[in-house]
């Protein structure tokens, strides 16, 4: 039976027409977004300068934010963490990448100086690090062109339309790990669907922390086969080396005082907690509050609030620990929240007394401390609900209730211990997210970038690229059939528009192809094309694409050399590819030799599927461009005007085009050894069925 997705010609054309109708609107939306970002760039830089009042690092490395970044060895796996929170969350994932030599040396990016400092603190020279660029079209293009990441892993929800678009255009796969998407954020994406839908279609894989997040991504148009529920990688939190000893030493220095740590607090919470703690001291004057604001720009503000409240406090940035008379320790250093949670008798998780949505309590659970949180916990709704259902958490309504629950923990240690044990049970049930995420990333582990940049030379109006493993120098003579005849081998072969020459010498055998126009445009100009930047000319674009696909292990020809020749506002082009030994195209086999076996059709289906899995659109997928060699291996050839394309809807039309080519050959030649029955084993290979 012929599958409807490929057999229905009208359906395939209707799908193509719908896509063409949507494409201009989506392109216009991204163009307007890009224009808005360009206009906002001076404001963004002014904002960084303003932030530099508190942290001078904001005024440095602006070249990186504009995409002018370099690393010692391009082609790494890039892990992007927005700020320090994501850097800490990504620690178990990054450590797994570092432990497996297949992934190489990671490149870690972030957008804030605090995140940058945390990266250097955690990994030193084990990783490369630069800032992630602004989502300007030029900045993202420069960034990707210079660093050439072979895989991009975005943490949680760092989805930038221009970056995703240009990564897709370069064939760079982008994965979201530990994806979180609240209903509020999903609603925002729906409002900007014309912009975000094509951006989300560029994602190769979305590893979600829970099912509601997976459902929201699916509702936004991400294909279900690209979505996995892998859990929250923070549940596999690894304590930093030496942290346990630091916690023990700090706790001993604090003595027997009862300690409440309020971590990741926000404006509105700090004021309320300070006021409630003043009242609490009337009943328990020896207790200590460790207050750790979420954002460093609030450190000075909170210090003034403590001073106005008349509390005796220390700022940890001054290098001191609390003495017996200290009532509050202000945790105004970055990356030490785990230390302050570890020395506490109970921990309040901030962002939950205000409609911020709460922060992750896993850092408290892994340290075996009682969790206190307010009513606003929708950012981690499933986790907080699990804790409440297990009896490990009783939400509080106010800062006064936070201090009351802290006092209850101190007065009833047995009940507190039971809550801790219940929280530990919930935590252990959530572990394994990193292993599940790494299992989903495993297919990308063997991917590489092309071995090296091509050798380039210019000869007047000619630009020549060659693969250094094929030729020692980039010379124009490589594209001259008469020169090859002098080397001993040059034979013209008929091949549609124009001719292909089979050439060779002692180094190897090749196919030399000159680019010709087709259709009505050929009547105006047989082989002249409108000039464009060198990498985007037809020969160079095909050379680059073939190099990328070969590096990923796909069965495509090796690009050995490419050339374009300027003629005023136009250019001509040629490409030289390695000849595939003992290979025959499917059309010739079916015309001249024999029918294909079901195994061979399945092999061809698998080859096309591998191409589609890499998101490669073949503009002329037909039976002339599918080949089988003497060993039965399937090859795909002729990648002129092909490229990477987002989404999946176009794949059905691509298959329909192949099916039409087979039926066309049968109409032209009734001895053509094809029937629609052969399509079933092809689709079995494509679908992975038997």
Residues contacting residue 676 through CB under 8 Å, at least 6 positions apart: 2, 7, 663
In the block, tokens 């360009």 appear at 38
Three-class secondary structure of residue 189 per DSSP: helix
> What's the CA gap between 82 and 402, in Å, rounded?
30
Kindly give, in sequence order, each residue whose CB lies less than 8 Å from that of residue 388, ignoring residues fewer than 6 positions away: 394, 395
Q: What is the DSSP code (8-state) at residue 454?
A: P
DSSP code per residue over 282-337: TT-TT-EEEEEESSGGGHHHHHHHHHHTT--EEEGGGT----TT--EEE--STT-H
The first and second tokens of residue 670, run together, are: 């009734």
Identify the three-state secondary structure at position 488: coil
Contact present, 650 and 19 (Cβ < 8 Å): yes
Q: How many residues does the chain have?
A: 690
For residue 462, what are its two tokens?
């000619």
| Distance, CA of 335 to CA of 122 (rounded, Å) | 10
**CA distances (Å), origin 657, targets 23, 517, 620:** 20, 20, 8
Q: How far apart are CA 424 and CA 363, in angstroms?
A: 11
Pick the closest to residue 579 from 517, 627, 515, 642 (CA basis): 627
Please report where in the chains the tokens 């050399």 appear, as a residue. 561
Determine the Cα–Cα distance for residues 151 and 103; give it in Å rounded to an integer.
Answer: 10
Q: Which residue's entry shows tokens 């082009």? A: 573
| Residue 562 burial class via C-beta count within 10 angstroms: exposed 0-12, middle 13-18, buried 19 and up | buried
CA 248/CA 95 separation, integer angstroms: 25
Tokens of 441: 């990333």
* Rounded Cα–Cα distance for residues 554 and 499 (Å): 26
CA atoms within 13 A on the CB side of 655: 29
The 8 Å CB, 24+ separation contacts for 417-424 are 418/391, 419/370, 419/391, 419/392, 419/393, 420/368, 420/369, 420/370, 420/392, 422/387, 422/390, 422/391, 422/392, 423/364, 423/365, 423/368, 423/370, 423/371, 423/387, 423/390, 423/392, 423/393, 424/365, 424/368
- Residue tagged active-site, from 64, 86, 363, 475: 86
Is 86 annotated as catalytic? yes
Helix (H), strand (E) at residue 161: helix 161-170
Contact 289, 314 (CB under 8 A): no
**Could you give the CA distance from residue 145 to residue 167 in angstroms, rounded to a whole number?**
10
Nearest to 332 by CA among 304, 366, 360, 310: 304
Residue with tokens 């529920």: 229
Q: Residue 286 and residue 649: Cα distance in Å, rounded?
A: 66
445 burial level (CB within 10 Å; 0-12, 13-18, 19+): middle
Query: Catalytic residue numbers?
Result: 86
């Amino acid at each position: 039976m012929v599958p409807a997705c490929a057999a229905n010609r009208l359906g395939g054309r209707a799908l193509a027409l719908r896509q063409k109708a949507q494409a201009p609107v989506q392109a216009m939306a991204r163009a307007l977004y890009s224009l808005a970002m360009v206009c906002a760039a001076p404001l963004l830089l002014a904002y960084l300068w303003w932030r530099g009042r508190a942290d001078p690092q904001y005024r440095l490395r602006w070249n990186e934010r504009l995409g002018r970044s370099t690393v010692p060895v391009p082609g790494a796996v890039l892990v992007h963490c927005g700020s320090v929170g994501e850097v800490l969350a990504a620690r178990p994932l990054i450590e797994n990448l570092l432990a497996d030599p297949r992934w190489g040396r990671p490149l870690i990016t972030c957008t804030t100086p605090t995140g940058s400092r945390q990266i250097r603190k955690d990994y030193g020279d084990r990783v490369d690090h630069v800032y992630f660029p602004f989502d300007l079209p030029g900045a993202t293009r420069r960034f990707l062109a210079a660093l050439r990441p072979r895989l991009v892993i975005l943490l949680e929800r760092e989805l930038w339309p221009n970056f995703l678009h240009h990564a897709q255009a370069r064939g760079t796969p982008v994965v979201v790990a530990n994806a979180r998407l609240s209903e509020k954020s999903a609603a925002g994406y729906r409002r900007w669907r014309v912009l975000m839908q094509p951006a989300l279609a560029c994602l190769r894989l979305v590893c979600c922390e829970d099912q509601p997040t997976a459902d929201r991504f699916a509702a936004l148009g991400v294909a279900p086969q690209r979505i996995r529920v892998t859990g929250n990688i923070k549940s596999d939190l690894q304590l930093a080396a030496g942290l346990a000893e630091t916690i023990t030493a700090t706790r001993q220095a604090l003595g027997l005082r009862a300690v409440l740590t309020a971590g990741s607090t926000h404006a509105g919470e700090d004021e309320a907690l300070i006021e409630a703690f003043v009242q609490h001291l009337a009943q328990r004057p020896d207790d200590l509050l460790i207050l750790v604001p979420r954002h460093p720009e609030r450190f000075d503000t909170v210090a003034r609030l403590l001073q106005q409240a008349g509390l005796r406090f220390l700022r940890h940035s001054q290098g001191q620990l609390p003495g017996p008379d200290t009532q509050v320790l202000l945790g105004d250093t970055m990356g030490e929240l785990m230390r302050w949670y570890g020395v506490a008798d109970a921990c309040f998780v901030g962002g939950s007394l205000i409609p911020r949505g709460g922060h992750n309590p896993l850092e408290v659970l892994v340290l075996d401390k009682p969790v206190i949180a307010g009513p606003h916990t929708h950012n981690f709704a499933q986790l907080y609900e699990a804790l409440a259902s297990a009896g490990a958490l009783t939400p509080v309504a106010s800062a006064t209730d936070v201090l009351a629950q802290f006092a209850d923990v101190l007065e009833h240690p047995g009940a507190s211990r039971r809550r801790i044990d219940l929280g530990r049970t919930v935590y252990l049930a959530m572990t394994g997210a990193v292993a599940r995420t790494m299992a989903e990333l495993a297919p990308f582990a063997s991917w590489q970038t092309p071995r090296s940049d091509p050798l380039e030379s210019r000869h007047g109006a000619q630009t020549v690229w060659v693969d250094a493993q094929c030729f020692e120098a980039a010379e124009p003579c490589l594209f001259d059939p008469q020169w090859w005849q002098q080397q001993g081998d040059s034979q013209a072969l008929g091949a549609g528009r124009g001719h292909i020459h089979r050439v060779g010498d002692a180094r190897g055998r090749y196919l030399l192809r000159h680019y010709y126009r087709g259709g009505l445009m050929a009547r105006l100009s047989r082989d002249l094309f409108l000039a464009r930047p060198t990498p985007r000319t037809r020969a160079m674009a095909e050379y680059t694409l073939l190099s990328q696909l070969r590096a990923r292990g796909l069965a495509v020809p090796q690009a050995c050399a490419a050339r374009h020749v300027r003629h005023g506002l136009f250019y001509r082009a040629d490409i030289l590819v390695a000849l595939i030994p003992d290979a025959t195209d499917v059309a010739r086999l079916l015309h001249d030799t024999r029918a294909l076996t079901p195994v061979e059709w399945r092999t061809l289906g698998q080859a096309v599927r591998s191409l589609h899995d890499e998101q490669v659109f073949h503009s002329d997928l037909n039976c002339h461009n599918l080949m089988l060699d003497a060993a039965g291996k399937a090859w795909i050839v002729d990648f002129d005007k092909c490229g990477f394309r987002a989404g999946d809807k176009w794949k059905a039309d691509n298959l329909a085009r192949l099916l039409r080519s087979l039926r066309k050959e049968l109409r032209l030649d009734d001895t053509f050894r094809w029937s629609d029955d052969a399509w079933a084993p092809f689709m079995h290979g494509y679908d992975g069925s038997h």
